[in-house]
Amino acid sequence: MRHLVARHWPALLLLLACGQEPVEPLERRALAITSGSASPDDRDVVALGAPSGAHVECSGVLLSPRVAVTAAHCVLGVKAEGVAVLGGAEASRPEWLSAVQAVRLHPAYDPETRENDLALVRLARQVEAMPGQVGGPSLEAGQRGRIVGFGKPSVDGETGQRRSGTVRFQRVDGHTVTYVGDPSLSCAGDSGGALRLVSEAGERLVGIVRSGSADCTGFGVATLLEPSWADFIAPFVAEADGTPEGEVPTPAEPRVPTGGCTSAPWPALLWLSAAVVARLRPPSASHRARRARGAPGR
């Protein structure tokens, strides 16, 4: 056995290193709202952070009592048990806190371009805060909007308080809207927060904050919900609302491997396993007889 380990130590190390897929912490550069104000009434906008609730990493928006939408880059590589959803105007004093049962990234999300930067989060229990109105008329440049999130009021500020501020749409394409300050902008911690269209008919949730200028003074970008509603969002909401509280749901679609056994070269593992079994199997009577006579084994 000692000789087997010496000969095959590279594959053995691979096998030992493959014991558990790494869990990445919920720590991503997020986007907070500058020149804004406290927002106690936007109860559908929630905070996402570690289960301890000690720190806010991103924002999210409730679409139903069991589902929140956020930015995909906020939860990329993060397992459900590494995320908690916090409700209330102050994340440090949440009105409620829910564990997460499942996280699903948009199937067409591109981490490099941030295209389709959306993710859905299934809460482990129903919450009382009711979602706002979603969707509305076609968006156009020049329209006014309102952003809501738990991010920083400035580059050097602190996350954790729900704030809102007004913006103006600068450019609208098929999947995103770019906005400029009027006078507010998103900043670190607002990623996943709400972009609402402001009109005479009232406010509608139309997008999720995605990215923006590094100094929080130039522009912001939000991912529109409407293009992903029928194929991605609506089915997940229907499935989640029918899942009993506390039950572990059916796993989401397979994701690109991030490490662990899912990305290991399995032929090498099978070969090593066969070699170990062969060495540990008791020798046959004929083999023992040949060894006693000095004949080579096979």
Domain range summary for the chain, segments of one domain joined by +: 37-241
Question: H-helix or E-strand containing 187?
Answer: none
Q: What separation in angstroms does the CA of 4 have from each of 13, 18, 267?
A: 13, 19, 18
Residue 221 and residue 31: Cα distance in Å, rounded? Answer: 10
The torsion angle over the Cα atoms of residues 39, 41, 45 and 47, rounded to 10 degrees, is: 60
Residue 169 and residue 184: Cα distance in Å, rounded? Answer: 12
Closest CA to 245 of 49, 58, 3, 66: 66
> Sign (positive/negative) of CA torsion 110, 131, 31, 51?
negative
Query: At the topology level of CATH, where does 37-241 sit?
Result: Thrombin, subunit H (2.40.10)
Instruction: Please tell me the predicted confidence (pLDDT) of residue 243.
Output: 74
Residue 272 and residue 244: Cα distance in Å, rounded? Answer: 43
Contact status, residue 168 vs residue 49, Cβ threshold 8 Å: no
Question: H-helix or E-strand containing 77?
Answer: none
Per-residue pLDDT of the chain (298 residues; tens, 9 = 90+): 444 444 444 443 333 333 333 333 333 334 445 555 688 999 999 999 988 766 788 999 999 999 999 999 999 999 999 999 999 999 889 999 999 999 999 999 999 999 999 999 999 999 987 777 888 778 999 999 999 999 877 666 677 889 999 999 999 998 999 999 988 788 878 899 999 999 988 999 999 999 888 888 889 999 999 999 999 999 999 999 887 776 433 333 333 333 333 233 333 333 334 443 344 445 444 444 444 444 333 3
Count the alpha carbons within 13 Å of 135 in the hemisphere toward its beta carbon: 8
Say how many Å lie between the first and final Cα of the chain, rounded: 17
Closest CA to 183 of 40, 31, 36: 36
Instruction: Please tell me the predicted confidence (pLDDT) of residue 185.
Output: 84
Residue 214 and residue 179: Cα distance in Å, rounded? Answer: 14
> Sign (positive/negative) of CA torsion 35, 38, 44, 47?
positive
Q: Which residue has the tokens 């907070």?
A: 32
Question: H-helix or E-strand containing 164?
Answer: strand 163-172
Instruction: Please tell me the predicted confidence (pLDDT) of residue 54.
Output: 62
Residue 267 and residue 269: Cα distance in Å, rounded? Answer: 5
Entry pTM: 0.70
Instruction: Please tell me the predicted confidence (pLDDT) of residue 180.
Output: 95
